[in-house]
Amino acid sequence: MRAARLIKMVLLLQSRPSMTAAELAKELEVSERTVTRDAQALSEAGIPVYADRGRAGGYRLIGGYRTRLTGLARGEAEALFLSGVPGALRDMGLEDAASAARLKVSAALLPSVRDAPRTAAQRFHLDAPGWFREPETPELLPAVAEAVWDDRCLTARYRRGEAEVERTLEPYGLVLKAGAWYLCARVPDADAFRTYRVDRFTAVGGPGPRFARDEEFDLPGFWAAQAERFARSLLRTEVVVRLSAQGVRRLGYAVDPLSAREGLRSAGEADAAGWVTATLPVESEEVAYAQLTALGPEVEVLAPAALRERFTRDAARLALLYRS
């Protein structure tokens, strides 16, 4: 533990001109007294740590000293590629590995570009969760992530409807979508890949034996196909509508993107007034009502008849309300 801290202290001093005891204590998560003892230990080991006294003082390396202890461990290298998603790293228990990797990279950089990580962080930030809700980190996510990293089987219990089901899984990858974590895994008993929401896991056993990963498995491609298949499975009914030119432009903001794309693909030529007729796949008439209401007078529902009658009744009520 102390050896790792001493190495980190050297790397910190190597990546910056100087650091105060308070700054080092914050980075190392120790007291300033511990920083003083560690600096003395490094000096006694032959590493030229120099302490400047006074209000502007601090610790620095002298004589152009550079450590060669900058090689990345495998876990650190893998975590580095996720460093643009700090929340995800924290959720999976990889924050310390990513911090060590960034520090080693910074220490290896030339002084002229050593501020590159800071300037990049000032200009770009990824906020993955959706708006208006606080994402909750699944309690079992770190255990699942560990199995994913190590290619180890795990036994998971998860909620499916009102019941709980237990499966042995070969965990291939994790996906963070709009604040929710999903596990893409192969089910050996079914010889098929499936997707599970991690927050529905109630227990995870393991880690189990290693499994032989299929190197042809493409996580982004698999997820894209699964996501489209899921979105399409929700669109169980159809509505026929007429859309004005503005309604066509706004359709993608009112209904699901897949519904808008397929609906506009089915649209015929515009009539003399510039309106087009399209058939939209939708989740249900109730959902279609809520979505199409956002288009106001830029859409006319033609079918089904029950949905058209509902719009007719509500339009009459709106007219009466505003006329009064």
Burial pattern 111-132, b for ≥16 Cβ within 10 A else e, equals eeebeebeeeeeeeeeeeeeee
Rounded distance between C-alpha atoms, residue 180 and residue 207, angstroms: 23
Q: 168 phi and psi, to 5 degrees?
A: -95, 125
Coil, strand, or helix at residue 311? helix
Residue 256, pLDDT score:
87
**Exposed/middle/buried for residue 8 (C-beta within 10 Å: 0-12, 13-18, 19+):** buried
Which pairs from 287-292 meet CB under 8 Å and 24+ separation?
A: 288/237, 288/239, 288/255, 291/254, 291/255, 291/256, 292/239, 292/241, 292/254, 292/255
Nearest 5°: CA angle at 65, between 60 and 69? 105
The H or E element spanning position 184 is strand 180-187
Token digits for 90? 């924290």
Residue 163, pLDDT score:
87
Q: What is the pLDDT along the chain (324 residues), one digit of tens a residue?
A: 676 788 788 788 877 778 888 888 888 888 888 888 888 888 877 788 888 876 667 888 887 676 655 555 555 555 554 555 566 666 667 667 666 666 666 665 556 555 655 555 556 556 666 666 666 778 899 899 889 988 999 999 998 878 899 999 999 999 888 778 899 999 998 889 999 999 999 999 877 899 999 988 999 899 989 888 888 888 889 999 999 999 999 999 999 888 999 999 988 889 988 999 999 999 999 999 999 999 999 999 999 999 999 999 999 999 999 886
Coil, strand, or helix at residue 124? coil
* Amino acid residing at 101: A
Rounded distance between C-alpha atoms, residue 304 and residue 257, angstroms: 21
CB–CB of 75/128 below 8 Å? Answer: no
Residue 198, pLDDT score:
92
Rounded distance between C-alpha atoms, residue 170 and residue 188, angstroms: 7
Cα 242 to Cα 87, 237, 271, distances in angstroms: 44, 17, 10
CB–CB of 156/194 below 8 Å? Answer: no
Residues 6+ apart with CB under 8 A from 321: none
* Amino acid residing at 2: R
* Amino acid residing at 137: T
Coil, strand, or helix at residue 192? strand
Residue 152, pLDDT score:
92
Token digits for 48? 């030229």
Which residues is 118 bridged to in the sheet? none
